[in-house]
Amino acid sequence: MLTLIQFPWSPFAITVRHILERHGIPFRLCNIPYHERASIVRATNGRGYTVPCVVDGKQAVCDVTDFGQEVARYINRRFKLGLFPKECEGLQLILSRYIENDLEMVGFKVNDTYVISSRPLIERVMLVRHKERKFGKGCLQEWTNHRKYLITQFAELLMPIDNMLASSPFLLSDRPLFVDYDLYGVIGNYLFNGKTKLPDLKNLRRWHRTMKKSN
């Protein structure tokens, strides 16, 4: 049985977790604090430290390159899910870059303003340290002050996706491909705190209801 090492609000962990859940693939869930990666380092023998990490017997896989999607591609090969058809490879790469860069860059800031303050002390301090080293001193307070603007920006970034979904049940096909799970993960991160809501975009909401279901 697979083991998925994650922290629960990671957009990319949500993506992988939902792939497993929706395809009925049994797995154990191992939640770790944001700052504690020893279990991943040991499992990968020092080759990786990012979440999500999937442990499959003696093999452990985590994403080690920008937009590498190694974990999702490993599960796709292992269980023959067909999430990366060759004819959609280019389109999926382009769309996933938009989802994982432009959209996620806004969504995680909104979620962080709610989630970080709720974490245990050590984890909270280490999260703040990580964010400030990457985005500058006081970034979390700045995101909190501009939360309404960020929420509006997130909705605006979802509008092209809503337009795509007007003529198709899923983003690129009549069945979910990797980019659908990728989008589901980024939106799942945005909604994780329980205080944000999906924008009032009809096609996106219909897609989200469908994606939440198991096959």
Residue 112 shares a structural domain with residue 179: yes
Residues 108-134 have pLDDT tens digits of 999 999 999 999 999 999 999 999 999
The enclosing domain of 70 has a CATH number of 3.40.30.10
The CATH number of whichever domain residue 168 belongs to comes to 1.20.1050.10
**pLDDT for residue 65 is more than 80:** yes
Same domain, 60 and 137: no
Residues 111 and 41 in one domain: no
Same domain, 166 and 130: yes
The total domain count for the chain is 2
Give the Cα separation of 106 and 125 in Å (integer). Answer: 22
**Token digits for 22?**
């929706």
Residues 113 and 53 in one domain: no
Cβ–Cβ under 8 Å, residues 28 and 2: yes
Say which residue the tokens 């959609």 belong to.
Answer: 88
Model pLDDT, residue 214:
66
pLDDT of 68 over the 90 cut: no
CA proximity to 112, closest of 147, 78, 152 = 147
**pLDDT single digits (tens) 144-155:** 999 999 999 999
Q: Which of 21, 56, 79 is the last residue of a domain?
A: 79
Give the domain range for residue 100. 86-212
Q: Are residues 32 and 115 located together in one domain of the fold? A: no
Are 127 and 163 within one domain? yes
Q: Which pLDDT band, with edges at 50, 70 and 90, does 67 fall under?
A: confident
Percent of the chain with pLDDT over 90: 96
- The whole-model pTM stands at 0.96
Whether 41 has a pLDDT exceeding 70, the answer reads: yes
Are 90 and 7 members of one domain? no
Q: Please report the pLDDT score of residue 64 as a whole number.
A: 86
**Same domain assignment for residues 99 and 54:** no
